[in-house]
Every structure is written in structure tokens, then in C-alpha cells.
Amino acid sequence: MITNIPEYEDFENVSKECLIQALELFFRIYCNYKEYDDENINEEVPLNEVWEHNKPTFRTSVILLHQGVETYMKSVIVRNSPYLLLEQKRSDWPSLPKSKDVDYSTMYTYAGENLLNTFCTVTNGKLNSEKIKFIEDIRQNRNKAIHGAGSMLNNPSTVILDILKAYTYFFGKDQWFNDMKKWNQSNPLFGYYNWDFESIQSYKFLDFIEVTIGVKQLNFFFNFDLNGRRYFCPTCFYEISSKGEQLKSKWAFLTPNKPSSKLLYCINCNFENEIKRVDCHIKDCMGNVMDVNGICLTCGKKTNENSI
């Protein structure tokens, strides 16, 4: 008998973990850099130089991305039948009476081109050629990265885009961000300082993705349309202010994106807040979207209360 037959969820979870870790590697480099919050240092050492220094991490990320893609293909195959992944001749399978038990994980499983062929067979033509080419490119990029070649090691944006594409192709839009937040919140150390404050720290992740691939590209990986004007989210703003810090990131959008809208939706904390339309009186601020307490959500300052 073959024992310990895996479930497809086992593979799916590992696939997600690989992809999230592939992103986290870059995120940690970015966060370390941001800790040097000093204009002089940032001018003398641009972020590009820090990426350049971290090429070995790029390589690890490319390998994790490839691993995530292969494991996803395995999850789809296992959903059909875990036996389709076994490479041994069927005459060698320990299935006849009196044959010894063999653990599934100790048997050889397909990788590379055989895996792709099996994957395409079980998906039965449902995948378009663009997605299949993407999967094949990931495998070739990983081979190049291992040998130190390939232009994708020059700049993190290509790898980050590929990770987000893989996540979105396989699990749908928004999922990469939701799963990344879930992963952080499952940390046993999470929440000891302050649950709400720590929860909204995910805005740093959005900032990092924006810095590396730009908001236009980021838009492909969210269900919500990010093309509108951006505002401070009142929920995130007050939470950060309550700890004596100043929020600089704007991840809230009018919903719907119309001048008459009364609601602001934040893709970071998922909250919807009511807003008022009042012109901001702070010099040089053209804002006219206030929260209910009179904070201008364009400049972050409290405007003349009498005007509300």
C-alpha cells in the first residue's frame, strides 16, 4: 500500500507560502532601507544600490517563485488523482497484497516538463497559452538565476511582478494581500503591542509594492480600481496618530469614484468611512474631502472647523 496520500490543500498551502516568502524577502530589504529615515543617507545610498547588493536574495526569491508555481501545478494534479504525480513504473507500485507499505513522500514525483504536461492534461485545455508560457518562463528564469545569468536579477520589479501574476493567476485578485496579512497575523508575537495598530502596518507592504512596480501595475492585482485620486484613510490615519506617528501613505479611494461620493474605501484596512465635501483652508492644499472630524484627507491637517 502507498500510505500518507497527500490532499491537494497540502500542496496549495505550500504553494502560497513559497510565493508569500518570495515577496517577503524583498519587503524585508525595503523595510531595512526605510529604517534609515535620513535624507542625506537616502541621497548617498539610493535604493538601487541596496537592491544591487542583495542579488543573492533575488536568486532565492526566483527559486521560491518557481517552487511555488510547481507546487501549485501539483495541487491541481493531486485534486484529480495523487497517483498521476508518481514517476515510478506502475509495476513497481506497492499495491499488490503482501507488498510493503511505502510512504507517498518517499516515492519519486514528476517535475519540470513532465509536470507541465500532466498539469495541462488535467486542466483539459482550460488554461490559455499565455498562462502556460508564463509557467514555462518561470522555470527557465529559475534555471538562469541559478547559473547567475538573466536580466531579471538586475531589478526586483520583474520578479515581484511575476510573483503577483502567479498568485493572481492561481488564486484570484486580492488574495496575495489578504494571505500576506493573514500570515503576519498568525505570528504568535502579533498583537502584543496593539492589535489594531499592528494590523494596519500592512500599508507598508502596499508602499513597497508601489515603489517597486508602480500603482498602475499594482492595479492588475486588486479587484478594486486604484485609478482614482488617493486620500488618507481616516481609520488608518487615527490609528497611526494615536501612537504619535504621522501616516504618509494614501490608500483610500472615493467609492464610487465620483465628485458626489460620500464614502471613502481603504484597500489597506478594508474600512469604508463617511466623508464631507468642504474646501480645505490650509495654504497650498486644494483638498475638499474631509473626515467627519474636519481632518483634510488630502493634506492630513485639521481645517477651519467653522467651515464644516
Residue placing its CB nearer to Zn ion in the complex, 118 or 303 = 303
Nearest residue to 236 (alpha-carbon basis) of 224, 253, 218, 260: 253
Beta bridge partners of 277: 289
Rule CB under 5 A: say whether 299 interacts with Zn ion: yes
Residue placing its CB nearer to Zn ion in the complex, 150 or 287 = 287
- Which residue do the cell numbers 497517483 mark? 83
Q: Which three cell numbers stand for residue 276?
A: 464631507
Q: How far is the CB of 303 from Zn ion (least distance, A)?
A: 6
Contact in structure between 158 and 152 (CB atoms under 8 Å): yes
Q: How far is the CB of 282 from Zn ion (least distance, A)?
A: 4
Each residue 231-250 as x (binds Zn ion by CB under 5 A) or -, in order, gives --x-xx--------------
Each residue 265-294 as x (binds Zn ion by CB under 5 A) or -, in order, gives -x-xx----------x-x--x-x-------
Residue placing its CB nearer to Zn ion in the complex, 118 or 298 = 298
Each residue 206-235 as x (binds Zn ion by CB under 5 A) or -, in order, gives ---------------------------x-x
For every residue of 152-210, which 3-state class applies, written as one string? HHCCHHHHHHHHHHHHHHHHCCCHHHHHHHHHHHCCCCCCCCCHHHHHHHHHHHHHHHH
Q: How far is the CB of 271 from Zn ion (least distance, A)?
A: 5
Q: How far is the CB of 199 from Zn ion (least distance, A)?
A: 10
Q: How far is the CB of 290 from Zn ion (least distance, A)?
A: 8
Residue placing its CB nearer to Zn ion in the complex, 29 or 236 = 236
Q: How far is the CB of 204 from Zn ion (least distance, A)?
A: 13
Contact residues toward Zn ion (CB under 5 A) are: 233, 235-236, 266, 268-269, 280, 282, 285, 287, 296, 298-299
